[in-house]
Chain A
């Protein structure tokens, strides 16, 4: 299995809702990443998990809360989002953080719309 699976593919939520994005990989990778991508822009790093521990938080607002329950799963909990948070959210994984030199495997993303 050489895939990163993200669910849901599309999500529409109100500004008072709580929702979660899910990411799963079964490649034995020990580093996992959340990226945010706005239209016509490159992905922007949000969080990095290494061996299930948060190692990088790129000053992301607290309305985004990551969680890594085990080595295969990565969640992103969303609460009280703003319309400007609408974007494509991408999950990625790599062998480990040093293994990033071999590249990341990306999921297909969750298209989030905040209304």
Chain B
């Protein structure tokens, strides 16, 4: 299985700041990487697919980059509604695997 490791496990930032989350894969996944946002009590919501493609309807302050084994999710100009847990997921091979999550809190 491909192991996905996210860092940090949690981050606290003020409204308007930029937050960066890193995801590392134990093997090359090319560009087959997705990012999800999960607010408390809700199902995960797709933000980014193909490592850098913004899903329809997702605010442009979310962006993804990377290829191979190292990926980044950036939230520019943090908003109060961005308080959530963020997960990366590889779609390169089976079984699909997720990172352990990064909790974003608002100061």
A and B co-occur in one complex = no
Interface on A for B, CB 8 Å cutoff? none
